[in-house]
Structure 1
Amino acid sequence: MHFVLEQYAAFSKCLFVLSIRILLLVPAGFLVRSQGDYQSNNKVMDNITVRQGEAVFLRCEQGNAVTRTAWLNRSSILYAGEDKWSVDPRVSLVTLNQEEFTIKIDNVDMTDEGQYVCAVQTSSRPRTTSVHILVQVPPKIINLSGDIVVNEGSNVTLMCQASGKPEPSISWKFLSTSVDLVSDDEFLEIPSISRQRAGTYECTAVNNIDTDLQTLDIIVNYAPAVTEGRDVGVAPGQYGVLECEADAVPEADFEWYKNDRRIFTGLDDLNIINTGSLSQLTFFNVSEGDYGNYTCVAINKIGNSNTTFFLYGEDGNTGVRLRRSFHCGS
C-alpha cells in the first residue's frame, strides 16, 4: 500500500507538470477557459537585472489553497515542489511554505538569461507567475593589436574589440601625452606615423557595470640624426676626446674616420667607446699627427648620418690655438 501511494503521488506531480507545460505552450492571445479564465490568473513580474557571477533569487507567492507548485525555465523544470529536477548544481531551493516558493541560482551567466515561470495549482485553477532575468556582463577586451614595430611614415591601424552587456564603448589614450585620441569605434587610425607618436597606447572598454583596459606599445624606427660636431683643441701630449651623439631607433652603430681612413679601437693609441646613443673617440697622448679632420658616421637599418670634427693644437698653459704646418685633411 505504501508503494502504491508513492507511485500515485509521483504520477500526480508529473501530471501537474505536464498540464503546466501544456498551459505554457498556448499561443499568446488564445483564451483558455476552464472553471474561469486562466489568463486572468497569470502574473508578469518586473524584469530582474543581475550581474554575471552574482546570485539571483526567484520568489513566487503561494497561498493556502495551493496543492502543487513548480519553477520552470525556458526549456525544463527546475523544481517541482521540494523535488529538484534540474541537474545544475547552482540551482537550489531556498523557501517552500504557504507564503512563498523561492529558488536561488548562483554564479549567474549569460546562458541563464530568459524567462522563468512559477506554476501553481490551486483547488480551483492553475496560475502562473513569470519573470524575465536580464544578465549584465562587465566589459572584457577580447582582441587587441599586439605591440607594433614600424618605420617612420607608415600608416598604422590599432584594433580593440571588447565583449560585455550592455555593449561597451571603446576609447583610446596615448599615455606618453595623456591625451584622449579621437576614435568612434574599435579602430584607431594613425596615418604617416612620426617618431613623436611612439610609445604606449591604452584601450579602455566601459559599460555601466565596469571598466577593462589594456595597453600596447608602438616602436617607430627612424634613421640616425647626429648632433653637429664641435671642434676640439688639445695640447700635445694631453688627453683628448671627440664625442658623437646620434638619435636613432634602433640605436645606431658608429664608425670613425680620419680623412677616408677608418679608425679602429686600439690602433695608434686611440680608443672608441660606444654607449647607447653616444660614441667617444679617445686620444690618450695627442701627437702632432693626430691633428686634423675626423668624421663620425651613425648607421642603422633605416639609414645613416654623419658629422665632422676638427682636432687642433692648443697651448696647454694659455689655451691659445697653436699654428701648425699641416693642412686640414692631410
Structure 2
Amino acid sequence: MGPSRGLAATRTATVTTSSTSTRHASVPRCASISSASYRPPHHQVLLLLVLLLIVSLSTGGVDAIIELPSFRKAVSNVTSALGREAVLDCAVDNLSPYKVAWLKVDTQTILTIHNHVITKNSRIGVSHSEQNVWHLHIKDVRESDEGWYMCQINTDPMKSQTGYLNVVVPPDILDYPTSADMVVDEGSNVSLKCIAKGSPEPSIIWKREDGELIRFSNGTEVSSATGPILNITNVKRDHMGPYLCIASNGVPPSVSKRIKLVVQFSPSVWIQYQLIGAYDGQQVTLECFSQAFPKSVNYWAKDNGDIIPHSTKYVPEIIEDGYKLHMKLKIRSLGAEDYGIYKCVSKNSLGDMEGSINVYNPNKFLQSGKRQQGYEDNIVAGSSKKVQEAHPKRYPNDTSRRISLEHEDIDLQSYYSDACCGHDDTSRLLHHFLPVLLVIILNNILHI
C-alpha cells in the first residue's frame, strides 16, 4: 500500500510537472506565430499616414487635400482725417489652421499676427469678427501713418493683399512767411502773403472784412481774389482796412487770418461852402471835411490863428469815421465881430492842412437899392430850396466858390447870369458884378 501510494504520488507529481512544462513550452511557439501577422493599432495609423503622404506627394502636396484660405474681397483704401481713427479690413475664408498678419509695406514692419499686436506702437490694434474679417485699427492718425498696408496669410506660397491709408490734414496758416499787420505810405506798393499747409494743398481766397471791393491799379474791382499773394500797386487811402485770407482744402475746418493794412498820408481838407452869408442875430454852422492818418489834431481858428474854444457862442463838433472827419462849428447869434475868416485846421506827424470859410453880412455885400428880385426874396424869406447837397459822400477836388445865405445857397455863376441878363446898360452890370468879384479876389488873396 505504501509503495503503491508513493508511486502514485510520484506519478501525479510527474504528470503535474509534465503538464506544467508542456504549457510553458507552448507559449513561445504561439508568440512566434502572432509576430508575423498581428500589428498594434498605432502601427496601423502610422501606416495610414505614410500611405496618405505618398498619395499627397504624387498629387501635389498636402494643400491639395486641405482647402486653402482665400480673400473674400480686396482690402479697401481708407481716407482718414488727422487725429481720427483709421480701420482697414481684411476678409478671409477658410483660414484655419493659418494665420493673418498686418504689415506696414514701406518699413516692412510687422504690426499684428492673428490676435496679437507685435509692434510697440500703442496706437495700433487688431480685432476679429465672426465673419473672418480682421480689422487693423490705427488710433490718433498721424501724417506718418499714410501709406500701403499689407494683409498677409502664412500659406506656402504666402498670400497677401494691400490697401492704402490716405491721411488728410485740415489747412493751417503759417505765422511765417504770412504777412502781419502792415503800415505803408500812400502811393507805395504792397504784397500781402498768406501761406498755408495741409493735405490736400489748401487754396487761398482774399476778401475785405468790411465787405468793400478790392481795387487794383488797373481799375478793376473784385469782391475776392485768389492766390497766396495779393499785390496792390500805388496804394491809396481807400485800400486801408482789414483783409481776410481764407485757406480751405475740403477738410474741415477752413481757417482764416486777419491782416490789417494801414495807409499813412498827410491831412487833406475839403470845404463845400467857402462863402456863407448871414444876418446879425442869426445862427450859422460852418462845415469842413478832413482826412488824415495817423490820426490828426483838428480845431477851428480865427483868421489871426487864435483857436476857437467851446463856449455859449461857439460850439465846435467833430464826427469821426475812421480816417475821415466831419468838422462843424456852430456860431450862435451873429454879431458884427463874428464876420470874417474862419479856418479849420488838421495836423498829424506827416504834415498839416487848413481850409478857410468867409462869413459875411449880405447887407454889406449887396448895397444896391435895386437887387434882383428873386435873389432878394431868397435872402429875406430863407427859402429851403437847395442848389447842391451839403454832405458829399466823397471828397472831390471842387474849387468852385459858393455863397450860402443862412439856409439858402446861391451859385455865383447863376447869379452873374441873372445879373447880366436883367439889365442892358454896363453901369448896372458892374454895379452888381464888382462887389462879388472883390469878395472872391480878397478870399483868394487870403489863401495865398
- TM-score, normalised with respect to structure 1: 0.71
Higher relative contact order (CA 8 A, sep 6+): 1
Partner of 1:140: 172
1:68 aligns with 2:99: yes
Percent of residue pairs identical? 28
Cα distance, 1:104 vs structure 2: 1.9
Residue 261 of structure 1: SS of its match in structure 2? Answer: coil
Distance in 2 between the 1:286 and 1:182 partners? 55
In structure 2, the residue matched to 1:118 is 151
- Equivalent of 2:228, from 186, 200, 210? 186
Contact 1:231 1:311 in 2 (8 A): yes
Q: Counterpart in 2 of 1:176?
A: 212
2:265 is matched with 222
Other-structure match for 1:48? 78
1:293 and 1:257 mapped to 2: Cα distance?
9
1:157-208 deviation per Cα after TM superposition (whole angstroms, max 9, x unaligned): 111111111222323234412725555x422221221123223323233334
Find the counterpart in structure 2 of residue 163 from structure 1: 197
Superimposed CA distance per residue, residues 43-80 of structure 1 (whole angstroms, 9 cap, x where no aligned partner):
98564333334432222233334433322223643322
Of 226, 230, 238, the match for 1:196: 238
Q: Match of 1:106?
A: 139
Q: Distance in 1 between matches of 2:260 and 2:100?
A: 59
Structure having the higher helix fraction is: 2
Contact 1:149/1:221 (<8 A) preserved: yes
Given that 2:75 and 2:89 are in contact with CA atoms closer than 8 Å, whether structure 1 keeps it comes out as: no
Give yes or no for contact 1:90–1:106 (8 Å, CA) kept in 2.
yes
Count of matched residue pairs: 284
Tell me how far apart the structure 2 counterparts of residues 288 and 268 of structure 1 sit (CA, whole Å).
17
Q: Which amino acid aligns with 2:289?
A: E
Return 5+ residue gaps in structure 2 as ranges: 1-61, 64-69, 215-221, 364-378, 383-404, 406-434, 436-441
CA contact (8 A) 1:231 1:309 kept: yes
Paired with 1:118 and 1:261, the residues of 2 have a C-alpha distance of 91
- Higher-Rg member (1/2): 2
For the 8 Å contact 1:82–1:96, the answer to whether it is kept is no
Q: Tell me whether 163-172 or 63-72 shows the greater mean CA deviation.
A: 63-72
In 1: Cα distance, 2:108 partner to 2:170 partner: 27
Aligned counterpart in structure 2 of residue 318 of structure 1, from 373, 376, 380: 380
Q: 1:298 to 1:319 in 2, by over 3 A?
A: farther
| Cα contact 1:236–1:314 (8 A) shared by 2 | no
Q: Can you list the C-alpha shifts for 1:90-126, whole angstroms capped at 9, x where unaligned?
A: 433221568332222234221211232233224x443
1:292 aligns with 2:326: no
When normalised by structure 2's length, the TM-score is 0.54
1:274/1:98 CA distance change after superposition, 3 Å: closer
- Of Structure 1 and Structure 2, the greater strand share is in 1
Match of 2:49 in 1: none
Question: In structure 1, what is the equivalent of residue 413 of structure 2?
Answer: none
1:258 and 1:161 map into 2 onto residues whose CA distance is 54
The residue that corresponds to 2:317 in the other structure is: 273
Match among 84, 90, 113 for residue 80 of structure 1: 113
